[in-house]
Amino acid sequence: MSTFAVIQMISQPSVEANLQRARILLEEAAAGGAQLAVLPENFATLGCGDQAALARAEAAGEGPLLSWLARTGRELGVWLLAGSLPLFGEGAACGRPHASSLLLDADGQCVARYDKLHLFDAQVADGRGLYRESDDFAAGQRIVVADTPVGRLGLSICYDLRFAELYSALRLAGAELICVPSAFTALTGAAHWEVLVRARAIETQCYLLAANQGGVHPGGRETFGHSLIVDPWGAVLANAAQGERVVLAQRDASAQQALRARMPVFEHRRLYPGPLQASSQESP
């Protein structure tokens, strides 16, 4: 059995304060035996303004995020999935960074990077109303899977959750677990969060590690919380409700393999995902 954690935060405009809170929560996850810990979307940068400026600082080696992640993973001896942070890279357009998840091993080395494919441009009937993620970020171009101590991990971020074909592609690329660091709004989360997470788990027969932002942020933005760990049958193993929390669960690899053998849905498929190509063990 392998153990993993999802971490729920209520991130603020201060990067330094967010990193301090994340460190405390990651220490709790490590103390609980987690081999992999998943941080939420924008864990350090929610509400921090100019995302391109943050990305330029990281690219110049003057930002705090990449060095903090490497040091924290190494000191705690835990694999980290850094929910999302702004990073420039191949394909970034119009001066916009990508919203990128980084996977770091227990030595603090980055072993995979995923740039968010689906950007949240939508109107929501909440206090903010219009969300236009594409104003700040460029969309990614490929799916990413990577081997970890808890199994083969597929990477996704937040709004990706609404696009089932991505998750089918991750399963076809060998994913056994899929992480979904998120910042779902309170309104959309109440309507769709749990049903989408559970559906993606059932469809792919993967564990879903869904780390959400969970509370009221400066400026009146409210996120839903209820971070989830769901097993391949769709059963909720852990639910964080709201507030800053750490929840842990374990993977039973033998039970997962037995489920896939009893119900080989991916051998029965008649339709397949589109032309996205898997990229394994990508580094930034």
Residue 41 near residue 157, CB atoms below 8 Å: yes
Which range, of 10-19, 118-127, 160-169, 229-238, averages the lowest pLDDT? 118-127
Res 283: pLDDT: 45
Average pLDDT in the 207-216 region?
Answer: 96
Alpha carbon distance 187, 177 (integer Å): 27
**192: its two tokens:** 């769709």
Res 49: pLDDT: 79
Catalytic residue (one of 41, 222, 244, 282): 41
pLDDT tier at 47 (50, 70, 90 boundaries)? confident
Is residue 274's pLDDT more than 70? no
pLDDT tier at 127 (50, 70, 90 boundaries)? low
Residue 206 near residue 177, CB atoms below 8 Å: yes
Average pLDDT in the 251-263 region?
Answer: 98
Alpha carbon distance 49, 277 (integer Å): 33
Alpha carbon distance 65, 176 (integer Å): 28
Is residue 231's pLDDT more than 90? yes
Res 60: pLDDT: 87
3-state helix, strand, coil in the chain (%, to 5): 30, 30, 40
Number of domains in the chain: 1
Q: What does the radius of gyration of the chain's CA atoms come to, in whole angstroms?
A: 17
116 is catalytic: yes
Res 284: pLDDT: 45
Contacts for 142 with CB less than 8 Å, ≥ 6 apart: 115, 276, 277, 278, 279, 282
Domain that holds residue 8: 2-280
DSSP 8-class letter at 149: T
How many other C-beta atoms lie within 10 A of the C-beta of residue 69?
21
Q: What is the dihedral of CA 161, 55, 175, 79, to 10 degrees?
A: -120
Q: Which amino acid is at 262?
A: R
27 is catalytic: no
Average pLDDT in the 201-212 region?
Answer: 98
41 is catalytic: yes
Is residue 276's pLDDT more than 60? no
Alpha carbon distance 142, 187 (integer Å): 29
Alpha carbon distance 57, 51 (integer Å): 10
Average pLDDT in the 106-121 region?
Answer: 95
pLDDT tier at 273 (50, 70, 90 boundaries)? low
Alpha carbon distance 214, 43 (integer Å): 11
Catalytic residue (one of 110, 116, 176, 206): 116
Is residue 92's pLDDT more than 70? no
How many other C-beta atoms lie within 10 A of the C-beta of residue 185?
23
Q: Is 0.75 topped by the overall pTM?
A: yes
Catalytic residue (one of 110, 158, 179, 206): 158
Q: How many CA atoms lie within 13 A of 234 on its CB side?
A: 9
**CATH code, domain with 191:** 3.60.110.10
Average pLDDT in the 235-248 region?
Answer: 96
Q: Work out whether strand 245-251 and strand 79-87 pair parallel, antiparallel, or are unpaired.
A: unpaired
